[in-house]
Each structure stands twice: as C-alpha cells, then as structure tokens.
Amino acid sequence: MAPKPINITTSTETALPRCPDCNSLKLTFDATRGEVSCGSCGLVVEDSYIDQTAEWRAYSKEQHVKRARTGTPKNLLTYDHYGTLIDYSNKDIFGNSISPEKASQMFRLRTLQRRAVLQYGTERNLLRALNEIKRISSQLNLTVKVRETAAMIYRKILKTGLVRGRSTEALVSAALYLSCRLHKQPETLEDVADKTRLSKKKLAKNFRLLLKHLDLKMPLASPESSIAKSASVLNFSTKILNDAQIILTKAKAAKITAGKNPNSLAAAALYIAALQNKTKCPQNEIAKTCQITEVTLRNRYKEFIRVLNLKVSLN
C-alpha cells in the first residue's frame, strides 16, 4: 500500500504537523509499516503508529451496520435496544421545552413512527410490558440490573409464545419477582403484589409458571437478604443489625434454620438483638414488618433462646 498524506484538520499554519528536523509539512503515513515519515528529508517522525480506522471495508450502509463492532450498548429496557423511539417529553437536547409548533410536529412524527414500527401484536405487547416493568420497578426502587434481567426474562417468554392468552401485568410482575430472587433482593411476593392489581396467589402462580417454562432452579431465600431491609423500616441502629446478623450466624452453625421461613428467622434475630440492646419494639410491629404472624415470631424467638443459650431481659 502506497504512503498517503496525513489528513490536515486545522486551518492555522502554526498548528500543522511539521518535521522536527527540516520543518517541512510533507509528512506521509505508511499504513503497512505504521510509520509517519518526512517526504523531504526522509526522517521517521513516528513509528508504531496505531491506525484507529476499521480494518474492514463496506460498500453499503447495510454492510457497515452489519460489520461494525462498536456503538452504543444495547439497553434491554427499551423496545429496540437503543431507544430510538420518539418520547413524549417535548424537550430539546438541553432540557428546554420546545415551541408549540415543534411539539405538534413531534406528535405527528411520533404517531407515524409508532404506526410504522409497532405493526404486530407482539411488538405492542413488548412495549407495554417494558413500560410496566419501569413503573413497578420505580415504585419498588429496584436497581437497573434487576430491571434489565426482568426485561430479558420477558423477552424470552415473548419469543416462545407463553404470553398468549395471559395477563401482561401478571407475567411482568412474575418476571420482576424472579429477577429479584436471582439477584438476592429482599422484595417478597407481597411487596410486588402491593404495587399491582394482582393477588399474592395469582402472582405466585405466574412465578411458578416462569420457573417451569424457563427450567430455572431458584436459589433458596436467605434471612440475610431481608434483615437489613426490616431493620431499616423499624429504624433500628446499626449495632442492633450487626448483633442480629451474629445471632443468625450462630443459628446456622447450630443447624436450626433449615426448613424455616427466612422472614421468621430474621424477625426473631432482630427481636432478640433489640431486647439485648434495651430497645423496645412490640412483637406485632416486627411481625408485620417481616410479614409473619406473632405466633411464628414467638416460636422462633423461644427456639433461638433455648438452643443458642441467649440471655435477654423483657423488662
């Protein structure tokens, strides 16, 4: 390949690249050698030059898009992965409101775009489901990773046709709960059901449907994932939380946690830690926060006291 002149991008003569030896402007780049040399005196100005252009060639826009390996990352929470649908914000790039004439024009363009893109029922279903994922996730304050996993799960079941004849809201809620379990988040069935129009029973049914259809083995819920959330809701101090975690560790070592409700274990550990730190908290308040009954809380509390030989004062 013959050497080619370096592209000059500035118009000021003082900013042009020059040969450090003869001050000449005749610098050429040899792509085969990766060298920048002077055409007047032959001095190699730079070697091991990195060519940042693509090593492939494309003769059409389609080939360029297909062969390109760079660009913006895919976003599973947007319909087309890139967010190229015109939104409803009616704001410019600086966040300022656009004029009424422009807003009217954007409305017409938005309508035409959605008619062209969302031609099939599956596409409209996906867009509606992604909006529902964003709504529920926002109310539950879920992380982006949990939201994207839920979107990926819904895309999978949409391709297999599982959504046909079933409620979009129910499957979206089940996908979100499944994502929370996969990422070991403390959200429970009740938490997700409270943000939807579903009952806990229907949500659990759709959750089991996803597990069976996707052939997933769900990791067991641990009390550690919910103890921090419950302590925060109850306004317990950090010391109480740390003491409760130590109690849970001792209970696991004593092998008395197997087969028990994780929420009941967390509730009992928090209750004992609160009593040891002389912090008053009614049993019904802890039981309600941990979504268990007072009877279950007392049973786990008595078992911890007896097996772990803990000393607490109820006064």
Is residue 91 included in any domain, yes or no? no
Alpha-carbon distance 147 to 175, whole Å? 9
The answer to whether the beta carbons of residues 227 and 245 sit under 8 Å apart is: yes
Is residue 83 included in any domain, yes or no? no
Measuring CA to CA, how many Å separate 179 from each of 16, 146, 208? 56, 6, 13
Collapsing DSSP states into helix, strand and coil, what is residue 28?
strand
Q: Which two tokens stand for residue 304?
A: 């911890």
Asked whether residue 67 carries a pLDDT value surpassing 60, the answer given is yes
* β-strand pairing of 27-30 with 44-46: unpaired
Alpha-carbon distance 24 to 40, whole Å? 7
Alpha-carbon distance 203 to 178, whole Å? 11
249 and 287 both lie in a single domain: yes
Is residue 92 included in any domain, yes or no? no
196 and 141 both lie in a single domain: yes
pLDDT value, residue 20:
86
Separation of CA 17 from chain center: 46
232 and 297 both lie in a single domain: yes
pLDDT band at 274 (very low <50, low <70, confident <90, very high): very high
Q: Pick from 71, 88, 108: which residue ends a domain? A: 71
- Give CA angle at 266 (260, 270), nearest 5°: 140
Collapsing DSSP states into helix, strand and coil, what is residue 4?
strand
Is residue 190 included in any domain, yes or no? yes
Is residue 247 included in any domain, yes or no? yes
186 and 145 both lie in a single domain: yes
DSSP string, 77-121: TSTTSS--S--S--B-TTSPBPPHHHHHHHHHHHHHHHHHH--SH
pLDDT value, residue 60:
82
DSSP 209: H
Is residue 109 included in any domain, yes or no? no
pLDDT band at 280 (very low <50, low <70, confident <90, very high): confident
Number of domains in the chain: 3
147 and 210 both lie in a single domain: yes
Q: What is the pLDDT of residues 219-247, one digit of tens each?
A: 777 888 889 889 989 999 999 999 999 99
Alpha-carbon distance 155 to 147, whole Å? 12
Alpha-carbon distance 226 to 271, whole Å? 14
195 and 245 both lie in a single domain: no
pLDDT value, residue 297:
95
205 and 228 both lie in a single domain: no
Q: What is the pLDDT of residues 198-212, one digit of tens each?
A: 999 999 999 999 999
The answer to whether the beta carbons of residues 239 and 277 sit under 8 Å apart is: yes
Alpha-carbon distance 79 to 116, whole Å? 14
295 and 228 both lie in a single domain: yes
How many CB atoms lie under 10 A from the CB of residue 96? 7
- Give CA angle at 183 (225, 160), nearest 5°: 140
What is the share, in percent, of the chain residues with pLDDT greater than 70? 88
| DSSP tally for the chain: helices H, then strands E | 12, 4
CATH at residue 16? 2.20.25.10
Q: Pick from 170, 189, 214: which residue ends a domain? A: 214
> Which has the higher per-residue pLDDT, 181 or 67?
181
Q: Half-sphere exposure of residue 178, counting CA atoms within 13 Å on the CB side? A: 31
Alpha-carbon distance 78 to 130, whole Å? 7
Q: What is the pLDDT of residues 164-185, one digit of tens each?
A: 999 999 999 999 999 999 998 8
Q: Which two tokens stand for residue 67?
A: 């062969």
CATH at residue 151? 1.10.472.10
Is residue 144 included in any domain, yes or no? yes
Q: Pick from 38, 71, 104: which residue ends a domain? A: 71
Give the mean model confidence (pLDDT) for residues 106-114: 86
Domain holding 268, by residue range, is 224-308
172 and 208 both lie in a single domain: yes
pLDDT band at 43 (very low <50, low <70, confident <90, very high): confident
Alpha-carbon distance 173 to 196, whole Å? 8
Measuring CA to CA, how many Å separate 27 from each of 40, 191, 273? 8, 67, 76
Is residue 113 included in any domain, yes or no? no
